[in-house]
Amino acid sequence: DQQVKQNSPSLSVQEGRISILNCDYTNSMFDYFLWYKKYPAEGPTFLISISSIKDKNEDGRFTVFLNKSAKHLSLHIVPSQPGDSAVYFCAAKGGAQKLVFGQGTRLTINP
């Protein structure tokens, strides 16, 4: 039972354009959502998060949007840069400390 889903395994975007990564969840008890970025042979690194009491959180080029009624969140990166090429994981938690991760989306930024 996949509680957090990233339905796009890969995404290719031109440098300078907006990258939009999507994530859906099924568990209404989740109250905190995070995005992690992972380069090959490295552990995931935290990127940005959002609490369920908010619908938007912005940090520089990165913005996360949360639509609780649709159980959907998205990560916007604008403008996209070549260094943004990585695998992006959506994660959620609620009550328990463990993070529930999606399968990841491989983002490729083309020059």
Partner 1 sequence: GAGVSQSPSNKVTEKGKDVELRCDPISGHTALYWYRQSLGQGLEFLIYFQGNSAPDKSGLPSDRFSAERTGGSVSTLTIQRTQQEDSAVYLCASSLAFSSYNEQFFGPGTRLTVL
CA dist., res. 95 & res. 58, Å (int): 24
Q: Is 43 in the site for partner 1 (CB under 8 A)?
A: yes
Number of residues that bind partner 1 (CB under 8 A): 27
Length of the chain: 111
Q: Is 22 in the site for partner 1 (CB under 8 A)?
A: no
Q: Residue type for 20, please?
A: I
Contacts of 30 (CB under 8 A, 6+ apart): 3, 52, 92, 93, 94, 100
Q: Is 1 in the site for partner 1 (CB under 8 A)?
A: no
Contacts of 107 (CB under 8 A, 6+ apart): 10, 11, 12, 13, 19, 21, 77, 84, 85, 86, 87, 88
Q: Is 44 in the site for partner 1 (CB under 8 A)?
A: yes
Among 19, 21, 24, 34, binds partner 1 (CB under 8 A): 34
13 or 91: CB nearest partner 1: 91
Q: Is 6 in the site for partner 1 (CB under 8 A)?
A: yes
Residues forming the site for partner 1 (CB under 8 A): 4, 6, 31-32, 34, 36, 41-46, 49, 51, 89, 91, 93, 95-104
